[in-house]
Amino acid sequence: MVHRDDHRRGGRGPYGARQLSAESAAAAHSHWPGFVLVAVGAVLLSSKGIFAKLLYAQGVDFHTVVSVRAVLAVPGFILLALLSKRRTDLLTARPSALWMAALAGFVCYYLGALANFYALTRVDASVERALLYSYPAMIVVAMWLVRRKRPSGRILGALVMTFFGIILTVGLLNHDLPAQDLAGVGWILFCSATISFYFIVTSRLARVIGAANYTAVAMATAGIAYAIHFQQVRGWGTLDLSPESWLLMGLLTLFATVLPLYLTAEGLHRIGAEKAALASTIAPASTVLLAIALLGETVSPEEIAGIVLIVLGILSLETRRARMRTRF
């Protein structure tokens, strides 16, 4: 005989067990759309380096690629903000919140992206994507310094795994590594640090003004900065791209910038940060496959081992960090 309490608890009796099993199966099934959204977004975002390399091969310099991409992306993010349910929150937001969103956009999407696209002129796209995945480790280190609290053994182990993966991926154990590769690695790690800063600020402000509004303000700030940057460096009047380059630029903007960030945000809303972190770890592997297939890049066994270590380390860090509610 099944007691009434068993039904309330999801049941230890046969009927409660069946109900719990059915509910678990339904929950797992409902999570699949979110997993797919995040995974597709991660794959699309990982193609950014591929598009950049293809544009570089056509003679387009990195100043043009990063500037035109940022300017073209602004209308897309503004449109997403207008379609958001919290679009009116932007009108009532505190000026300090808007200024912080603008600062985060300038640091990450302007300074960080500029360093990232410059680094892609010096290192392979597969290496670039793996190194960018060091940002969760940097967030943990920042939390350590701010809180002055030693991380747990699990977190320290994940940090060691991540940074050893970076060493293998970039070939720091190879004494013949060219100096230009080391410079490229340094710029990518700088970009990763700006992403860390962006995520820390986002964790506070996205809840205040809405994720779509926050992203729109950040990207609009970066777009204005790049408009001024390109005018000073090249001049918009000198912009002359071939139809093929414009096509690649449009694909870079739509499929490797606006769409993946929107898909990732939607998936994150559906399944939460912990499961989204698991789904997004497909990015380094997808970049390697795309780089081999489209660019003819070769990946050494050491680089593959390094990418695997980075993914495993970040998985551990992300799942741990997703359970914590950090306040700065």
Q: What is the 3-state secondary structure (H, E, C) of 167-230?
A: HHHHCCCCCCCCHHHHHHHHHHHHHHHHHHHHHHHHHHHHHHHCHHHHHHHHHHHHHHHHHHHH
Domain count, the chain: 1
Asked whether residue 179 is assigned to any structural domain, the reply reads: yes
pLDDT of residue 321: 54
Asked whether residue 6 is assigned to any structural domain, the reply reads: no
Asked whether residue 24 is assigned to any structural domain, the reply reads: no
Q: How far is CA 248 from CA 48, 114, 117, in A?
A: 11, 18, 15
Asked whether residue 13 is assigned to any structural domain, the reply reads: no
pLDDT of residue 323: 55
Asked whether residue 26 is assigned to any structural domain, the reply reads: no
Q: How far is CA 13 from CA 1, 6, 24, 287, in A?
A: 8, 6, 16, 49
The DSSP symbol for 18 reads H
Q: Which residue has the higher pLDDT, 99 or 43?
A: 99
Rounded distance between C-alpha atoms, residue 318 and residue 133, angstroms: 11
pLDDT at 260 over 50: yes
Rounded distance between C-alpha atoms, residue 209 and residue 86, angstroms: 7
Asked whether residue 312 is assigned to any structural domain, the reply reads: yes
Rounded distance between C-alpha atoms, residue 257 and residue 280, angstroms: 15
Asked whether residue 4 is assigned to any structural domain, the reply reads: no
Question: pLDDT exceeding 70 applies to what percent of the chain?
Answer: 74
Confidence of residue 12 (pLDDT cuts 50, 70, 90): very low
Tell me the pTM: 0.74
Rounded distance between C-alpha atoms, residue 151 and residue 281, angstroms: 23
Range of the domain at 295: 33-322
Asked whether residue 17 is assigned to any structural domain, the reply reads: no
**In contact, 110 and 226? CB cutoff 8 Å:** yes
CA within 13 Å, CB half, 189: 14
